Amino acid sequence: QGPSFRKSAITCILPRSLHAPRMSDHGSETEEVADLSNPDVTTKYRTAGDIIQKALQKVAEACVADADIATLCEMGDKIIEEETGKLYNKKVKDKKGQRT
C-alpha cells in the first residue's frame, strides 16, 4: 500500500470564504470582508505561516540518513495539529449539522 493522503491540518485555520463570495439568506453578498484587507484574515495567514515554519524546522532536523519518509510526514502533521489545536479548538458544525 502507498501512503494515505489526507487534508492537512493547516487548512482548518485558513478562511474558507477567500475563494468564493458567500451569499446571505436574502441573496446578497455577506458584509464580512474575507480578503487580505481584513486584519483577521491576515493574522490567520501569519499564524499559519508561523506554525508551518515551526513544523518544517522540526522535520528538517529529523531528516537524517535512512529516516522514514512516512514518519517524517506524520511528525509534521502532528506538530501542525497540536499547534492549531492550541489556537483553534472551537467545534464547528458542518453542513449536515454535525460537529467536526
Contact assessment for residue 29 and residue 99, using Cβ atoms and an 8 Å cutoff:
no
What CA–CA distance (Å, rounded) separates 41 from 25? 23
pLDDT band with cut points at 50, 70 and 90 for residue 34: confident
- DSSP helix, strand, coil percent of the chain (3-state; round to 5): 50, 5, 45
pLDDT band of 27, cuts 50, 70, 90 = low
Residue 2 confidence class, pLDDT cut points 50, 70, 90? very low
